[in-house]
Amino acid sequence: MATDATPDESVDPVDPVESVELVLVRHGQSVWNAVRRWQGTADPPLTDLGREQARAQADWLAGLDETWAGVWTSPLRRAATTAEIIATRLGLPAPIVDQRLEEAYAGDWEGMTPAEIEHDWPGYLTRNARPPSFEPDPIVRERAWSSLSDVVRAAAGRGSALVVTHSGLMRRVSGARVRRGRRAEPGRLPPRGRTGHEPPSSPRSGVRADDRHATAPERRRASTDADAPLVSCVR
């Protein structure tokens, strides 16, 4: 079972020049992913396919030449269950739950299908617009980078950190759209690089964003709310 994150005063602050590689993993398919309902902070569970994807993701991660400091996760079930499957496969302690890693709140759209959104909010999806009730991007980025900076401090000197979260949060962290990317090669993490977006994080966190998102081990289809796991490397 996942455990709640609590401040650990025994963790020394990260040296300004020290960095930790963060591996952001998207959850497997949820019940609402399967019927293309916008989720936001709603909490549907994984489907059987989603659990299968999580196990495949865990197997892929286990094949990497990485030392893992631990697993951190959003509290939403689709992410937390994915994180528990991964942590068990890697022989790591129970995932640490951090509410700041939740998906962006989708406001009036939570529970709606694209067809229903188009009916009630014509043209919004085409323009990539969002209703006023949607959680603003700057707030999502601020809480996400606040969490990731704490993860860096906790993982410093212990290895890379696995963070299981959501595609919307991953987009906002990287400053780029989560999309079909180069497939990750067996035994290797996706390539890393800069988007040109500087995250609003503490200078001592040592984190940088990567706009290249890869699937592991495979992705069934590309869409704005695809149901297969993604991997993004951040450092």
Helix axis angle, 48-62 relative to 77-90, nearest 10°? Answer: 40
In angstroms, how far is CA 182 from the centroid of its own chain? 18
Which residues are part of the catalytic machinery? 27, 103
Reference 233, options 1, 25, 79, 9; nearest CA is 25
Residue found under tokens 């890393």: 192
CA angle 232/148/179 to nearest 5° reads 25
The token pair at 192 is 């890393």
DSSP string, 23-80: EEEE---BHHHHTT---TT----B-HHHHHHHHHHHHHHHTSS--EEEEEE-SSHHHH
Task: Find the DSSP H helices in 64-134.
Answer: 77-90, 114-120, 124-127
Q: Give the length of the chain.
A: 235
Q: Give the span between the Cα atoms of 61 and 51, in whole angstroms.
A: 15
What SS3 class is residue 191?
coil
